[in-house]
Structure 1
């Protein structure tokens, strides 16, 4: 799958190595080294996917991620030298769809990008389904979500969770099971990232996020999606 990728990485050597590796896989790659420049480029020509370093001059990666997410549903893979769980969860809460901690292998980077692109574009007949659970409607082919007739903007990770759960209403999913839908490769993923996605989804689809009736916790096991009130 050929795609236009925007790479925002402040280390010129790493950025050039990434550009060559991704270009060799057939992608059109634009590299920038500054957060403000990256935002300008995104607005000029929206990419199919964005690879975003957390530590950027001009505008840091987390702030850039939040601005982009307010304006676009472009999938975002965040790169970080930090391995602290709170930093990774902050990145997901800011709108990133996936993350990769440094150092990483080029093969793993490519695997993550391919997985995000597959979820973005769907896969033909396999994706030609509209899933309905109560007032929630998930159009897998178009990657859209509606709740009570109103559109709901979701990140790729959030959409993956909803699509998986909407396909099996009232089925209880464990966190490790949901991780298999939100990440192409789970080597350094944390199960708490699922809790962040669920918290964000409840803000978007629940009548009262503090007392969820649609995306329900099954204590000691995981989560299930129900028709709600």
Structure 2
């Protein structure tokens, strides 16, 4: 089996080299770059499974780079930054980040976060390889594609996993903590906000009427459920 490929983009050479050595020792194939331009060049060459991405880069922001990379392949993205304000974290998630970790960090923690993110891909691809169809909405777990009214919907990797989780059991009410365990595979401080941000992103992309959440419904005081449409 080919090793999992990880790209590290950080302008701090000490952090970049530390992560490169650590992740290589964990058995990953690793490449690293110091800025956005180099990061994109390596991204196209490597086609990574996951990117560890610093928010503050000399020639761009990690947010913009995250959007650009995910528009190309839907790659998993772990944002790495010294910013610890909750608003910055929510912005990272809104831009498509799968996880967000602040500096300073422990190598044990970042290793666990990466393993948890990569595990989601195995969970979805090892599930029953059957497309879910609800009226004009089709969710294909093999191609990891969502099609609405014959048009491909551009979802991030995490948005796809979250939608697939909800839609695979229509009518089931999911608590936010259950979604975190099922999709993220670990507890996250400030978890409710993280789930809500991603649900909001999915709704904007698949709901025919943004004011009427007919598919992903909020169950007040509990969480969310997916209601099949015909």
TM over 0.5: yes
Pairwise CA distance, 1:198? 1.0
2:187 matched residue in structure 1: 186
1:136 matched residue in structure 2: 137
Q: For residues 20-44 of structure 1, give each alpha carbon's deviation from its aligned partner in whole angstroms, at most 9, with x where no partner exists.
A: 1100111111111112221232234
Distance 2:69 2:229 in 1: 32
Distance 1:171 1:123 in 2: 18
Distance 1:134 1:173 in 2: 22
Distance 2:140 2:56 in 1: 35
Pairwise CA distance, 1:93? 0.8
Distance 2:52 2:169 in 1: 32
Pairwise CA distance, 1:127? 4.6
* TM score, norm. by length of structure 1: 0.90
2:97 matched residue in structure 1: 96
Pairwise CA distance, 1:88? 0.5
Distance 1:24 1:175 in 2: 35
Q: For residues 188-217 of structure 1, give each alpha carbon's deviation from its aligned partner in whole angstroms, at most 9, with x where no partner exists.
A: 453111111111111111111122111111
Pairwise CA distance, 1:134? 3.8
Pairwise CA distance, 1:45? 3.5
**1:57 lines up with 2:84 in the alignment:** no
Q: For residues 125 and 196 of structure 1, do their structure 2 counterparts lie closer, same or farther at Cα, with a shift above 3 Å needed?
A: closer
Distance 2:125 2:60 in 1: 38
Alignment of 1:66-77 (within 5 A): 66-77=67-78
* TM score, norm. by length of structure 2: 0.90
Q: How many corresponding residue pairs?
A: 229
| Structure 2 unaligned blocks of 5 or more | none
Q: For residues 184 and 80 of structure 1, do their structure 2 counterparts lie closer, same or farther at Cα, with a shift above 3 Å needed?
A: farther
Could you tell me whether the CA contact under 8 Å between 2:6 and 2:30 is conserved in 1?
Answer: yes
2:111 matched residue in structure 1: 110
Q: Over aligned residue pairs, what C-alpha RMSD do you find?
A: 2.0
**1:219 lines up with 2:220 in the alignment:** yes
SS in 1 for 2:127: helix
1:86 matched residue in structure 2: 87
1:200 matched residue in structure 2: 201
SS in 1 for 2:79: strand
| Structure 1 unaligned blocks of 5 or more | none
- Shifted more, 83-92 versus 188-197: the winner is 188-197
